[in-house]
Amino acid sequence: MTLESLGFGPHWAAAMAALMRPDWAPARVVAEHRDQPELHTAAGRVRALVRPHLYQAGALPVIGDWVAASQLAPDTWMIEALLPPRTDFARVGAGRQAARQRVAANVDRVMVVTALDGDLNPRRLDRYLAAVHHAGAEAVVVLNKADQCTDVAAARARIAPLDCYVVSAETGEGLDALRGLLRPGETMALVGSSGVGKSTLINALIGDAAQRTDGVRAGDHKGRHTTTHRALFALPGGGLLIDTPGMRAFAPHADADAVDAVFPEIGEWAGHCRFADCTHGAEPACAVQAAIARGDLSAERLAAWHTLRRAQAHDALRADVHAQRAAQRSLSRMYREVQRHGRRRRGDD
Ligand SMILES: Nc1nc2c(ncn2[C@@H]2O[C@H](COP(=O)(O)OP(=O)(O)OP(=O)(O)O)[C@@H](O)[C@H]2O)c(=O)[nH]1
Ligand SMILES: [Mg+2]
Ligand SMILES: [Zn+2]
């Protein structure tokens, strides 16, 4: 496999040239292992170390990243720098890990996979889609396990007006339409809950058992978190697929605009509200509320938009507080360093 088949082209060549380090080589992160990313370099696949300052800067490479790497010894590679990603799909961590967590980089499309055996959750879909919009990628919604569902039309109606592909990785139904989305050199990441069939889909699309899969629990159809590492696969036709482990809870890294992009039909009416900053609540002359009253817009979708906007604002605030604390910590660390250094120079210790 060449770098070009992994998507290398003039854009990345220019990003490399801008680093002005002819001794560094471009490479793409094609797998994440517990401690070491795996790179594809012009010389083939290698495990790589990461310069510590990248950890401190929170700029750790993730699957799909293009990086500049140096070869320190025949089998020792070091990631020196991250090339600025063109798209960046990220979530917001739960609890105390409020920071942005990157999931996959330089993906042209994100396939949000859900299953028709009970996983379908329209509100969770909204959250994924907000993150895809914010990443700068194109979203593809896939309802898998069509063979397990007797009323596909009802499932489609539940997520309307979102468009989707209905497929079965098991029977092959609908997979040709998905193959049509995979153009040479372009990357698509599969995300979604555990057990929805992401790895099975990847195996079916590449026609090989590249990824291990496992059954879902009988009672609630929940997956067993079979995939534990992110990895990138090349299709015979030239497209690239990224498999990710199922996510337990998904909070998107997104801004208000990315949330609005998930609800384009609300945006169409919102332009006609009297107030430019109308929240479509109890304001007078709200075109969105009027559209709902007329039956042109679903009240459920507006409620979903409100929920997601509130969650986004809350998560953004948490991430902000988290970032400030991290900055404070590194400042006080620097202070201590300077003080210690001063004492040493004065001969105090
Ligand atoms: N009936 C049916 N079963 C499917 C289909 N696709 C996947 N499965 C089954 O669903 C189970 C889970 O599939 P996986 O591909 O491991 O799911 P995953 O999304 O990769 O799960 P994690 O790796 O845990 O995130 C396996 O037993 C698959 O055989 C399908 O279209 N129909
Ligand atoms: Mg899997
Ligand atoms: Zn309004």
Distances (CA, A) of 70 to 190, 217, 346: 30, 45, 40
Tell me if 196 CB under 6 Å of ligand 1: yes
Ligand 1 pocket mutation pick from 165, 213, 242 by most atoms within 8 angstroms of CB? 213
Look at residue 271 in the predicted model and tell me its pLDDT.
92
Q: What is the mean pLDDT of the segment spanning 271-296?
A: 94
Distances (CA, A) of 139 to 52, 71, 191, 246, 256: 34, 37, 11, 17, 17
- pLDDT(5) > 60: yes
Terminal-residue alpha carbon distance, the chain: 56
Q: CA 233, CA 38: separation in Å to the nearest integer?
A: 13
Nearest CA to ligand 1 atom 24: 225
Topology, domain 88-243: Rossmann fold (3.40.50)
Q: DSSP for 30-66?
A: EEE-SS-EEEEETTEEEEEEE-HHHHHTT----TT-E
Q: CA 144, CA 213: separation in Å to the nearest integer?
A: 15
Look at residue 349 in the predicted model and tell me its pLDDT.
53
4-82 belongs to CATH 2.40.50.140? yes
Percent pLDDT > 90 in the chain is 71
113 CA closest ligand 1 atom index:
19
Confidence band for 315, pLDDT divided at 50, 70 and 90: confident
Q: How far is the CA of 75 from the centre of ligand 1 (A)?
A: 36
Tell me if 211 CB under 6 Å of ligand 1: no
What pLDDT, in 10s, does the model give residues 202-233? 999 988 777 788 788 777 778 888 888 899 99
Q: Where are the domains of the chain?
A: 4-82, 88-243
Q: CA 185, CA 8: separation in Å to the nearest integer?
A: 8
Tell me if 226 CB under 6 Å of ligand 1: yes
Q: Which two tokens stand for residue 289?
A: 């509320």
